[in-house]
Structure formats: structure tokens, C-alpha cells
Amino acid sequence: MVKKNLLLPFILFLILYITIESLSFLGLIVLEKIKMIHYDPVISSLSVEQNELIKKILKNDFKGYLIHNTVLGWSIGKNRSGRNGMYESNSQEIRAVREYSFIPPNDKIRISAFGDSYTHGDDVKNNDTWEAQLSNINSTYEVLNFGVPGYGLDQAYLRYLKCGNKFGSDIVFIGFMSENIYRNVNVFRSFYLNAYKGFIYAKPRFIIKNNKLIFYKNPLPLLKNYEFFLNNDKAELSRLGSMDYFYKLRYKEGILDFSPSIRIAKILFYYYKKKFNRNAIEVNEVYNVNSEAFLITLKLFHAFRQKVIHNNALPVIILFPNNLDISRYKGYKTKSYQPLINYFEKNHVVYIDLLNAFEQYEHIYDLNDLMAKGSHYSQLGNKIVAEYIDNYLLENKLDKRY
């Protein structure tokens, strides 16, 4: 009798469980097909690609364009070549085939550019970067390219502190692509996006404490740290995650992930947290001025500018729009980084918004003409950038020594 009494509830539970799991499974399919959202937990162990790359580095069998750097996390190697010869660096870790004297030529205005891949000029050859084209457009300028792919504003600032003042620049360009704000609260790139499962370098970052920037050093400063990382990846990833905004925000893998209902619950809770998170980096596709990322970014800009001024040079911030920024502005005339512009205007900060450069050509060129295959600016896009910067410097009488 007892067994019969338990059988019916068990059958009802089983039907309910199967129904929930089936609906959840369909929900996962709908999310992926319509919203392009799929189950994507933050990594809890190194990928196969990361394992192999670390082994190559430890064997000194890695000759990549980007190399490990104790302070910066990674940087451009000396006399390296990358992307099948598309990128070339000199012995000073600058993207160039020539060497530069520390003392600028008397007949030149020396400009040094710091930033990420948009400053570096990814996806075009050395001679097609906007720095090289700016030097050709106006022979008064000698533009040094210190850009490094993947950098946040924090790393660009640290790279300037390390080597920027050695070259006696008259003007220093502080490059900032709109997505860089996310990198300023990131320590290990795979925590931010799983697409970076082939990237292994960690990075330093800053936090704000008592209204001051506090520096967190690169958590993997020595190559021997990577050997420990390789053999203790789960524990090390957890350690790195304790300093990373995205690791704390994103959902983790679990033993119940076989269940569609568990997976969809994690996804929905994650997006709920993102929507109602007071510390969200963006709200309605615009920078959240109250977020940690925005406040850190402002303080980094201030510190960077003050150091450049202290070194008797003129700081000029260059805002690089990506393809999403250009498309959004063309359709809706909105900018995710508008709060940053508001801050610059209020505090009389010299900046160049390159979205204005591309806006002039929106009825002439298609977005595909301006972008290379890798989503960075094409040779034409770099030419437009160079011409716009040249015109800005001339019109504002900034083409002189400081």
C-alpha cells in the first residue's frame, strides 16, 4: 500500500522533471538561435591551446610577436615579426623597422602614440598604419608607434612610464578604443571572453581605494610562474579571478551542468545580475558613470595626462571607435563613451574623437571599406584617421614643440 502511495507522486515528479528539462532545452535553443546567447561559463581550467602555448614558452620555443613582460603582462618583442611579416618591430620594442634616437631631430615634432591594437594598427602593414601615414602626410611629424595589441588603458599608461619619456616627445597621443574600459577591470583575458582561450598572459590592473589609484602588479611576473600555473591551473585561475571583475560576475561550471534547467537558470540569473548591477560597466549601451570601470578609467586618464605634462609634453587623447560604434552612430547618433566626452569637455581635456572623422565619409564609403578583415581599420581607414588628426593639430595650432 505504501509503495502504491509513493508511486503516483514519483510518476508526477518524473513527468514534471521531464517537462521542465524539455522546456529548458528548448529555451536554450531559442536563446542561441534568436539572441545568440549560449551557455558560456567562465573558464575553470586552461584550454588545450593555452597548455600548449605555455609549454612552448617554457621550452623557449616560442618566437611570437608578443612576449611575456614582467610589469606589463605582455609587450612587443625586440626585432620581431608578426602576422606573416605584416608587423615588424625594432630593438626598442617600437613598431618600426628603423631605430630612433632619444633626442628628436631639430626639424621634427616628435609624437609618441600609446594604446591598444587600434593604436598599433592591427591588420595593416607598418607603412599603412595611421602613424606612418601621418608622418608621410606632414613631414614635420615623426610619429613613434608604441601601441600593443590587447592593451587596456592601464597597460598603455604603464608602458609610457617605462619607456615613454626616453624619447623626448613633444606630443603624446593616449589612444583609447571604446571597449578598453572593460579591460581596465580585467586580469586574465579568458575571464572576460572565452574567445581568448588561446591567450595566456595575465595583466596588472588598478583599483580605487580612498579615492586613489592602487596598483595591483602583474600576478604572473616571471616565466617560472607559468610552470606553476600549468601544473596548478584550477587554483591559479581562482587566485587570478579574485582580482578580476568578470570572474566574479560570470557563472561557473558545475557538476549539475548536464541539466538544461540548471544551464538556463545560470544564464538568466547572469543577465539579471548584469541588468540590475549598479557596478555594470554599461547601462543601455552607454558607460555607467558610477561603475568601478568608469571611475578607474577617469583616474587613469588623469594620471597619464599629468605624467605627460610633467615630462614637458602635450597629452592628446585619441578616441578610437570600433565597428559597432560606427554602426550605432550612423543609425542612432549615440555614443557609448559619451560620458567620457562630457568629462573631457567639462575639464578642458584635449581630445580627438575619430568618430567625427568617419562620419564625414559615411555616405561615401561602406563600413567594410573602412575596416580590415580583422575588424580593425583598413589602409583607407588609417588614412582617414591620419588626415583628420593632421587637420586637428593644424587647426588648433598644436603642431609645435612643447
Among 16-20, 100-104, 270-274, 287-291, which stretch is predicted with the lowest mean pLDDT? 270-274
- Residue 304 host element (H or E): helix 292-310
Q: What is the mean pLDDT of residues 281-287?
A: 94
What is the mean predicted confidence (pLDDT) over 228-253? 95
Confidence (pLDDT) at 195: 79
The answer to whether the CB of 88 falls within 8 A of the CB of 97 is: yes
* 313-329 residue pLDDT tens: 999 999 999 999 999 99
Q: pLDDT class for 3, splitting at 50, 70, 90?
A: low
pLDDT recorded at residue 197: 82
Which of these, 228, 237, 201, 204, lies nearest to 218 by C-alpha position? 204
Q: What percent of the chain has pLDDT over 90?
A: 78
The pLDDT of residue 225: 95
Q: How large is the C-alpha radius of gyration of the chain?
A: 24
Is 90 exceeded by the pLDDT of residue 208? yes
Distance (Å, rounded) from C-alpha 74 to C-alpha 156? Answer: 11
pLDDT at 402 over 70: no
353-367 pLDDT tens trace: 999 999 988 888 888
At 355 the pLDDT is 96
Weakest mean pLDDT among 18-22, 265-269, 371-375, 393-397: 371-375
Percent of the chain at pLDDT exceeding 70:
98
Whether residue 146 is predicted with pLDDT greater than 60 in this model: the reply is: yes
> Average pLDDT for residues 249-273, to the nearest whole number?
91
43-73 pLDDT per residue, tens: 999 999 999 999 988 887 777 899 999 999 9
pLDDT tens figures, 164-206: 889 999 999 999 999 999 999 999 999 998 878 889 999 999 9
Q: Can you state the percent helix, strand and coil of the chain, rounding each to 5?
A: 45, 15, 40
Query: Average pLDDT, whole number, for the chain?
Result: 93
Which stretch of 16-20, 175-179, 237-241, 291-295 has the lowest confidence by average pLDDT? Answer: 16-20
**Greater pLDDT, 4 or 12:** 12
Closest CA to 40 of 51, 48, 32, 30: 32
pLDDT tens-digit profile of 29-40? 999 999 889 899
Half-sphere exposure of 80 (CA within 13 A, CB side): 17
At residue 390, the pLDDT reads 97
pLDDT of residue 278: 87
Q: Is 70 exceeded by the pLDDT of residue 4?
A: no
Q: How confident is the model at residue 382 (pLDDT cuts 50, 70, 90)?
A: very high
Q: Is 22 left (phi over 0), alpha (psi -120 to 50) or beta?
A: alpha
User: Range with the lowest mean pLDDT among 149-158, 199-208, 271-280?
Assistant: 271-280
Give pTM, 2 decimals: 0.93
CA 88 from centroid of its chain's CA atoms: 21
